[in-house]
Chains A and B, each alone.
Chain A
Amino acid sequence: MKTDIILAGVGGQGILSIASAIGVAALKKGLHVKQSETHGMSQRGGAVISHLRISDKPIFSDLIAEGNADLILSVEPMEAMRYLPYLSETGYIVTNTAPFINIPEYPAMKTIMGELNKNPRLVAIDADNTATELGSKLSSNMVMLGAASPFLNHIAAEDLEQGIIELFSRKGEDVVNVNLAALRAGKEFAANAIK
């Protein structure tokens, strides 16, 4: 059993902390993990991608082949579409709907949502808004992680909570709690969306 995930976003949005939380949880379960990242020039406000692969068997390639991703997890709506060639026939798109506009020719939100909605397996959540309502806009990433949690196969939401506790415990109990709340809110949203 393997899960291939494309993580997408814009440099500086912190997709790597989502990857770390999943990675920590996967390791705790004794699973194999490979995760490739974008460093360097493209990080400066450019489109960034991370390939995250989890399996109970050894993993060879650091990159996911086209048409094979079980999940596109994007923290930005236009970026979710950039990697559609990777999505498998049965794959899900989980995306934040809050746009990150740092280019002049950013498409209209209506156009983006129209394109995204063509995909029957879609979870679209305004994670920035959800996180802000919980009192910490910075936890938007963990809302996204929660929204992706029903699609992670080997990893249960409880495992992710353990991962979050490990990642944030250094920063104190309040930070841990708000991130846990964010995770749960995302998870609940996704559960309702795919009912």
Chain B
Amino acid sequence: MQKVLLGVEAIAQGAIDGGMSGVYAYPGTPSTEITEYIQHSKYAKEKKIHSQWSANEKTAMEAALGMAYAGKRAMTCMKHVGLNVAADNFMNAAVTGVNGGMLVTVADDPSMHSSQNEQDSRYYGRFAQIPILEPSNQQEAYDMAYYGFQLSEQFGVPVMLRVTTRMAHSRAIVNLKETLPENEIKLPTNPSQFVLLPVNARKQYKKLLASQVNFEKASDESSFNQYFDGKDKSIGVIACGIAYNYLMEHFPEGCPFPVVKVSQYPLPRKKITRLSEETESILVLEEGYPIFEELLKGYLEKEKVKGRLDGTLPRDGELNPDLVAKALKLPVKYGLDIPKEVSNRPPALCVGCGHHDVYRALNEAVATFGEGRVFSDIGCYTLGALEPYRAINTCVDMGASITMAKGAADAGLVPALAVIGDSTFTHSGITGLIDAVAEKSPITIIISDNESTSMTGGQESAAKGIIEKVCLAVGVEAEHLHVINPVKKNHDEMVTLIKTELAYQGVSVIVPRRICVQKNRRDIKIRKAQVE
């Protein structure tokens, strides 16, 4: 059977067909559609494959490890920066190892289309010392999710499946395989495997180290990695993941240079050694950081290696066919220049969105205190940094609004404010709120609640219906906790409310609550369809 699938959908379908019992994830571009695809899959519903969103990437990965502990196949998905949140579990899961197969699927975003950095998750894979799979096309994305569980079970460790934006969000035809049955529940045979007391952890870690040679052997034997010989030995190309396509785009009839296609790590040592021996220099094409380029070059630069570090390719940003052509000194075409009249069209808050009303009120309320005191977070409301509001001064990582406001207040920047969304609050805001309450920090927190995880497409928010309860439970005083409907007619009331709370020398929480206009539209559509 054939299907036209986005790279991320191919991963979802591959995991379902590969016998997965559950996916655990928090939304994040470009990884979101993996979990959504599984949520909408009829087969997954029938089989009760777990697919509900988790509160954050750490809880997601831990739950996946729990499922793998119980002998079943589990996948956790996230964007690259989500892996930072889940890193504690990730690093230790490599040491415990797994019982059922576990795939850690991470979608990186080079060129930062929808992200605050372009960190390369392959570093994490190397850091944890586990095998990494990186597809060059949608078919491989499917195959890798399908076989990834088997690879994970064969070696008893989690396996990372790494994609980048272009692979995640590009469609092609994918051939599907037969659906494998799920694993039965089976406890680990070694009862101390998952108990990482130092005495056990040392044993487990030695086991992981001893496996490295096997991971490398598997890479050399993997059909995902290939050596293609070429007549012109002046240069040998190592093409990782999707970069292989940008290379082959220029040589549909075959590349004149020897090529090692790399889609499974650690690097296939035999193939790389042969390339080094047979060619005069090496060009490394990596969609992301120059990790393996640096490794091959070595500190003393004894190997002639070209790539991102010597300027043959740009040091940052994603690759494309043009950059690869220039690196190989191939002729490139140029189209017309962009006429100077073309203006930028940056993303903007939707018409009718409640965040507009929040920022209008906020700007008016803080005007008298001077600029530079609004700490914000990750979500649609981050667009409040742009014109016309220019209302926020920071956007760093999930949850950093409350904690940075607290630190600034500790430094004497009083009053300080935090603006955070509902889903970001339950993702990583609550722990920061506990710190602020514990020290009665003079900060005003605005949880701009649109009852949705909107930037990623309106997923259900874990915060729905629990924000006030959570705030009170961690010690926010009832008289400094307010809910208001952010609409035009409440503007003056909202300004007064913010001003009053700014004057309070302790933690205040204001919750402007109005459902996301997009989410509302979709919900109405769904309800209508259900009635019909």
Contact = CB atoms under 8 A, between A and B. Distances in A.
B455 A40 contact: yes
A152 interface: no
A62 B113 contact: no
Contacts of A47: 344-345
B321 A65 contact: yes
Given A39-B169, A66-B333, A46 B343 contact: no
Interface in B329-371: 332-339, 341-350
Contact of A36 (B170, B349, B455): B170
B521 to A, nearest CB: 11
Interface residues of A, number: 52
Interface in A51-69: 51, 57, 59-69
A122 to B, nearest CB: 12
Contacts of B387: 104
Contact of B343 (A38, A84, A103): A103
B170 A107 contact: no
Nearest to A52: B171
A41 interface: yes
Contact of A41 (B246, B343, B455): B455
A11 B349 CA distance: 12
B320 A112 contact: no
- Interface size band for B: 35 or more
B348 A46 contact: yes
B167 interface: yes
Given A44-B348, A63-B321, A115 B114 contact: no
B249 interface: yes
A111 interface: yes
A39 B347 contact: no
Contacts of A41: 29, 113-114, 347, 455
Contacts of A11: 347
A65 B347 contact: no
A59 to B, nearest CB: 8
Interface of B: 4, 6, 29-30, 32-33, 113-114, 166-167, 169-173, 242, 244-246, 248-249, 252, 320-322, 325, 332-339, 341-350, 380, 383, 387, 455-457
7 contacts: A35-B171, A39-B457, A44-B350, A62-B172, A63-B321, A86-B335, A111-B341
Interface of A: 10-11, 23, 27, 32-47, 51, 57, 59-69, 78-79, 81-82, 84-88, 102-107, 111-112, 115, 119
